[in-house]
Amino acid sequence: MRLAFRTRRLAFRKVVRHSTQLTASSPAELRPLTSFSDARLAFAHTSTPKLMRGAAVLTACSQPWLAKHSEAAIALANKLLGPSVTTMLLKHTVFEHFVAGEDAAAIAPVLTLLHERGVGGILDYAAEADLDSGSASVSPGINQPSRVYPYESEAMCEANKAIFLSAVRAVHDTAPTGFAAVKVTALGDPALLERVSTSLTALRAFFNRLDTDGGGTLDRATFVRGWCEAFDVSEAESLATFSMLDHDGGGCVDVLEFTNRLDLDAISPLVSKCRVQGPLYRSALDGEECAALGAMLRRLDEIAQLASSLGVRLMVDAEHTYLQPAIDHAVLRLQRAHNKVYPAIYGTRQAYLVDCAAQLSLDIERARREGWHLGVKLVRGAYMVHERQRAAALGYDDPIHPSAEATHASFDEAIKQLLVHCPCPERTSLMVATHNQPSVELVTCLLSSGASSIPRECVHFGQLLGMADHLTFTLAANGYQAYKYVPYGPVHEVLPYLIRRAYENADALSGARAQRNMMLSEVRRRFVGA
């Protein structure tokens, strides 16, 4: 155990050392940034042909009608030109602009170039499958964007695990200051995650029903009485469960203890004992499914263990809301195991969700109580259309903020919640993953003014490869920790990723007109010699 701790401590020192090297040439004092209009700085290392290609790609992608009908356009091109010609055209245009390469070896030059400019990499194997193409979907009848991996077989999940392990090694070898991204739905059946999420949500509601006075805690007698009424268990078993949940021995269980101490693999055996055979009872997994869930968690553990041992930070992506409770629980499990020395594991929070602030508060309080490092990637969210369609179809409240303005406000409040009001800033790290310039300006002002209690080296900025270069490279040049989200994968397998980016990031792509104009102005400057 002591040797393992020493290995992780050395890995942490390596991360810190490389982070220092990444910004060694930057100014000692950070300045607030309110201007990102220097095209010469943003595109200093981009060739003129690539600038022209990028401007053309962004012009096409920023057309709403093309983004909406991109799948149909590709199908028509396949019919008229043939798949091979279509693939070649896509590879040398959209693919090369947004994707680093087809495999871990091919992306090395991109990561090296980024590193030379003081920008780190977030490596993401972006091959995705389209659930509308015939595979079983998590929620039949609801239009699914191509994000969640369809479950084909345990062998396929093992193959996906091997790909993620390769990505972790590639980060270690080529971008030691970087991150690797992982999607839990690649490692097991999403239907299992949905049912476990149903169990977790129902158990939280069960706690609220028992908490009749709204005080947020249950004493021993209230818990045991309610537990025996809900589940076919003895009083002694209920007392044993209470003792397990009452981690600090205070004689009461609050909502954090209630949800934190229940392991994912223990939930299904519990809910199978429900006295009422309702939704909670029906969400229980049978023996074979429990084994499949265990295999999913072991795959995730193996990836996290490798990342932690190599000093690579792992980001677990957010997915659909009906899968997220189980994913959050799995992330919590990893953070407890691997974040004792430094934030090796980052979870993701989506600001367009109405409960974003509440979930962040729970994240912060868990880390504070248990003494581990909290890593958070904050995004706006990418599934708005689908989430609203699903909520309307199934008759539950829309989980998304009602307007873009409300989402922007939620994102900025989450920034302040983490940077200004966090009770454990020395153990908190944040990845601000956004293309929104006002939000970036807010963070730089908080950091440069000293208003942020989180150290500047623990605050990172992330933008997609091929987008918002004026943000990324300006941040890096001014001493901020800047990163590019670097997708890679075979052309035909990454097409669903590109389609999803076009469809679900239509607002961001429409904002790409500013980057396109900067690209064209830089091309003109080079031709006239200004």
Instruction: In whole angstroms, give the CA distance from residue 374 to residue 368.
Output: 9
* Spatial contact of 512 and 61, defined as CB atoms under 8 Å apart: yes
pLDDT of 281: 81
Instruction: In whole angstroms, give the CA distance from residue 193 to residue 203.
Output: 15
pLDDT of 511: 58
Is there a domain that residue 486 lies in? yes
CATH code of the domain in which 253 resides: 1.10.238.10
Is there a domain that residue 257 lies in? yes
Question: Residues 424, 306: one domain?
Answer: yes
Token look-up 């091929």 returns 466
Pairing of strands 252-254, 217-219: antiparallel
Is there a domain that residue 332 lies in? yes
pLDDT of 453: 93
Provide the strand spans (E) within 166-311.
179-182, 217-219, 252-254
Instruction: Give the pLDDT band of residue 406 (cuts 50, 70, 90).
Output: very high
Task: List the end-to-end C-alpha distance of the chain, in Å, as a whole number.
Answer: 62
Instruction: In whole angstroms, give the CA distance from residue 327 to residue 173.
Output: 28
The alpha-carbon radius of gyration of the chain (Å, integer) is: 24
Predicted TM-score of the model (pTM): 0.85
Question: Residues 87, 136: one domain?
Answer: yes
Instruction: In whole angstroms, give the CA distance from residue 269 to residue 290.
Output: 9
Question: Residues 144, 237: one domain?
Answer: no
**β partners of residue 459:** 430
Domain count, the chain: 2
Classify 9 as helix, strand or coil.
helix
User: What number of residues does the chain have?
Assistant: 530
Question: Residues 259, 336: one domain?
Answer: no
Question: Residues 89, 129: one domain?
Answer: yes
Show Cβ contacts of residue 252 under 8 Å, excluding neighbours closer than 6 positions. 217, 218, 219, 220, 246
Backbone angles phi, psi at 488, to 5 degrees: -150, 160
pLDDT at 292 over 60: yes
336 alpha-carbon distance from chain centroid: 18
pLDDT of 508: 58
* pLDDT cut 90: percent of the chain above it: 38
Least confident of 230-244, 266-280, 387-401: 266-280
Is there a domain that residue 308 lies in? yes
* Spatial contact of 27 and 491, defined as CB atoms under 8 Å apart: no
Which of 218, 253, 282 delimits the end of a domain?
282
Provide the strand spans (E) within 149-235.
179-182, 217-219
Tokens, residue 286: 């049978």
Question: Residues 318, 271: one domain?
Answer: no
Question: Residues 291, 237: one domain?
Answer: no
Q: Which of 502, 518, 523 is nearest to 470 (CA)?
A: 518
Question: Residues 244, 340: one domain?
Answer: no
Helix (H) or strand (E) holding 224: helix 220-230
Q: Which CA distances in Å does 180 have to 164, 241, 296, 316?
A: 8, 37, 18, 9
Instruction: In whole angstroms, give the CA distance from residue 175 to residue 156.
Output: 27
Instruction: In whole angstroms, give the CA distance from residue 40 to residue 52.
Output: 15
pLDDT at 19 over 50: no
- Averaged pLDDT, 12-24: 45
Instruction: In whole angstroms, give the CA distance from residue 48 to residue 57.
Output: 14
Classify 174 as helix, strand or coil.
helix
What is the number of alpha carbons within 13 Å of residue 225 lying toward its C-beta?
8
Instruction: In whole angstroms, give the CA distance from residue 470 to residue 476.
Output: 10
Is there a domain that residue 409 lies in? yes
* pLDDT cut 70: percent of the chain above it: 86
Q: With b meaning 16 or more CB within 10 Å and e meaning fewer, what string describes 192-209?
A: bbbbbbbbbbbbeebbee
Tokens, residue 373: 């490092």
What one-character-per-residue DSSP string does 308-363 give?
A: HHHT-EEEEPP--TTTHHHHHHHHHHHHHHH-SSS--EEEEEETTBTTHHHHHHHH
Least confident of 80-84, 233-237, 268-272: 268-272
Which of 252, 282, 312 delimits the end of a domain?
282
- Residue span of the structural domain in which 93 resides: 2-190+287-528
pLDDT tens-digit readout, 304-345: 999 999 999 999 999 999 999 999 999 999 999 999 999 999
pLDDT of 382: 79
Question: Residues 275, 330: one domain?
Answer: no
Which of 282, 313, 336 delimits the end of a domain?
282
* Spatial contact of 4 and 11, defined as CB atoms under 8 Å apart: no
The chain-wide mean pLDDT, for the chain, equals 83
- Averaged pLDDT, 447-454: 92
pLDDT of 507: 55
CATH code of the domain in which 50 resides: 3.20.20.220
Instruction: In whole angstroms, give the CA distance from residue 201 to residue 359.
Output: 13
pLDDT at 224 over 50: yes
Is there a domain that residue 195 lies in? no
SS (H, E, C) 429-468: EEEEECCCHHHHHHHHHHHHHCCCCCCHHHEEEEEECCCC
pLDDT of 504: 53
Q: At what angle do helices 356-370 and 404-419 cross, to 10 degrees?
A: 20
Is there a domain that residue 297 lies in? yes
pLDDT at 289 over 70: yes
Q: Which of 171, 136, 444 is nearest to 312 (CA)?
A: 171
Instruction: Give the pLDDT band of residue 18 (cuts 50, 70, 90).
Output: very low
The 10 Å Cβ neighbour count of residue 385 is: 14
Token look-up 């990418």 returns 382
Instruction: Give the pLDDT band of residue 71 (cuts 50, 70, 90).
Output: confident
pLDDT of 148: 44
Question: Residues 35, 15: one domain?
Answer: yes
Q: What angle do CA 93, 104, 130 make, to 5 degrees?
A: 60
Question: Residues 248, 177: one domain?
Answer: no
Question: Residues 260, 212: one domain?
Answer: yes
Is there a domain that residue 318 lies in? yes
